[in-house]
Amino acid sequence: MNARRAFAAAMLAAWLASPSAAAIGTYRLQDISAGGTLQFSVGIDNQGGVLAESWHWAAGGYYTSPATGVVLLTDPMVPGVPPNTVPNTPRGADINAAGVITGTWYPLGEVRAFRYTSDGGMRDLGLSGVEGNGTDDAGNTVGRFRGGTGRDYFVADPGGNLAVHTAPVALAGIAGLRNDGVIVANRQHATDSERPVAGLLENGTWRDLATGGAYSSHAMGFNEQGAVVGMQAVYSDMAGIPIQHAFAYTPEAGVVDLVDAMPWLNQFSTAAAVNEQGLVVGYGARGDMWETFSFLHDLSTGQLVDLASVLLPGTAAGWTNMYLVDVNDSGQIAGWGQFEGNVRAFLLSPAAPVPEPATALMMALGLVALGAATRRRIR
């Protein structure tokens, strides 16, 4: 057997001999706050670029990535708008896989939607009284009108061509736009404006998600496979008042109340985002002191872990009260928390897996086989 075949055989044996690895591995934390400039992460693209915010009133939204560094969303300024009319108050709402951002800004007291790319800067979408809520992977933007009946919304293509539509229900908020044109959103309850109901708006038709009789529901994140995650209010058996549970919806399973898998929870949890591989991230509180925690949940396996159990030792020293808000298709997670008492944005990246002992042994045997075969060939 030649060296290449010997090595391949050993590696195959190692793979067959090793137990299946856990779907959720360990994570390494990186402070991306630029020394405290960025406090809150909002979203993440597939290159690890993060949409973030500063809580300073004059700063607003930023994009930060290894390629661009930290960039204010109004730098360069909005094309066609005089610089002195552009306050530094854009608020990004969503970022797609390629790094296209949409959000809302407030020139001279107006409310307007914008689209941002790192190569083209910030672009006003041309309507007053609207907010930018989401963007699909092609760069199409969706947003809703503030005020009025609550039914009006718009969709703009990457070139800025914009069409206004009217929904059959009053919209309480829009979570985003899927690549197939379906809008994931929340409608107002027919008799109670404080009770949103999660659902899908497709070709002008609204459909409530089947949320298992919850008092209310709020969609926050989704993927292209039809999964939707968020929070829903259910009644407490003890107090008789609504309490908030994280949920995950899939077309196959319907709504799954994630609290069933988290017995340490008290009355508050939220599922914030889900990637294309079905990894859900979220946050909540537990215990009598309402201790903040974040969690990761794998839709395909049902595995659910506390973030604290998968952070590499030492990488998160000094961090507390951590919130996970978005996850990309490489498993990188954007979040924010407190570092030594100060609010800062962070990025979590999957750490290289450590081989199981049996796998490590078989790999070593494979290397021995490779060396032996090489010696035979030299002789």
- In tens, the pLDDT along 239-291 reads 566 788 899 999 999 988 887 777 666 668 999 999 999 999 999 887 666 78
CB atoms within 10 A of CB 19: 8
Give the CA-trace dihedral at 333, 258, 101, 23, to 10 degrees: 40
3-state secondary structure of 107: helix
Mean pLDDT of 130-148: 96
* pLDDT reported for residue 355: 46
Locate 114 and state its tokens: 């914008």
Q: pTM (2 decimals)? A: 0.84
Between the alpha carbon of residue 3 and those of residues 11, 255, 363, 376, the distances in Å are 12, 52, 14, 9
* pLDDT reported for residue 76: 66
Q: Is 336's pLDDT higher than 50?
A: yes
Q: 294, 324 in Cβ contact below 8 A?
A: yes
Q: 123, 160 in Cβ contact below 8 A?
A: yes
Mean pLDDT of 126-134: 95
Mean pLDDT of 311-331: 94
- Return the axis-axis angle of helices 357-378 and 3-17, rounded to nearest 10°: 170
Which residue is associated with the tokens 């078989």?
362
CATH number of the structural domain 28-374 = 2.130.10.10
Between the alpha carbon of residue 201 and those of residues 15, 187, 342, the distances in Å are 45, 10, 40
Mean pLDDT of 41-55: 95
* pLDDT reported for residue 158: 94
Q: Is 104's pLDDT higher than 90?
A: yes
Mean pLDDT of 82-97: 78
**Distance between CA atoms of 183 and 190, rounded to whole angstroms?**
20
Greater confidence, 265 or 357?
A: 265
* pLDDT reported for residue 1: 46
Mean pLDDT of 9-17: 38
Instruction: Reduce the secondary structure of 204-240 to three states and give it as a string.
Output: CEEEECCCCCCCEEEEEEECCCCCEEEEEEEECCCCC
Long-range contacts from 184-192, C-beta under 8 angstroms, 24+ separation: 184/134, 184/219, 184/222, 184/228, 185/219, 186/217, 186/218, 186/219, 188/150, 189/216
pLDDT grade for 5, boundaries at 50, 70 and 90: very low
* pLDDT reported for residue 334: 98
Q: Is 8's pLDDT higher than 50?
A: no
Between the alpha carbon of residue 300 and those of residues 24, 259, 273, the distances in Å are 11, 17, 15
CA angle, 378 as apex, 364 and 375 as ends, to 5°? Answer: 25
* pLDDT reported for residue 12: 37
Which of 220-224, 233-237, 344-348 is predicted with the least confidence, judged by mean pLDDT?
233-237
* pLDDT reported for residue 26: 96
pLDDT grade for 228, boundaries at 50, 70 and 90: very high
Which of 45-54, 143-152, 185-194 is predicted with the least confidence, judged by mean pLDDT?
185-194
Mean pLDDT of 98-118: 91
**Distance between CA atoms of 105 and 96, rounded to whole angstroms?**
19
CA atoms within 13 A on the CB side of 196: 21
Q: Is 156's pLDDT higher than 70?
A: yes
Q: Is 16's pLDDT higher than 70?
A: no
Residues above pLDDT 70, as percent of the chain: 78
Q: 114, 123 in Cβ contact below 8 A?
A: yes
Q: Residue ranges per domain, the chain? A: 28-374
pLDDT grade for 376, boundaries at 50, 70 and 90: very low
pLDDT grade for 191, boundaries at 50, 70 and 90: confident
Locate 125 and state its tokens: 């979408």
Rg of the chain taking only CA atoms, in angstroms: 24
Q: Is 372's pLDDT higher than 70?
A: no
- Dihedrals phi, psi of 61, to nearest 5 degrees: -95, 150
* pLDDT reported for residue 79: 62
Mean pLDDT of 94-107: 95
Computed over every residue of the chain, the mean pLDDT equals 83
Greater confidence, 190 or 201?
A: 201
CB atoms within 10 A of CB 230: 30
Tell me: the pLDDT tens digits for 236-249?
Answer: 555 566 788 899 99
* pLDDT reported for residue 88: 56
**Distance between CA atoms of 327 and 203, rounded to whole angstroms?**
28
Which residue is associated with the tokens 């409310």?
111
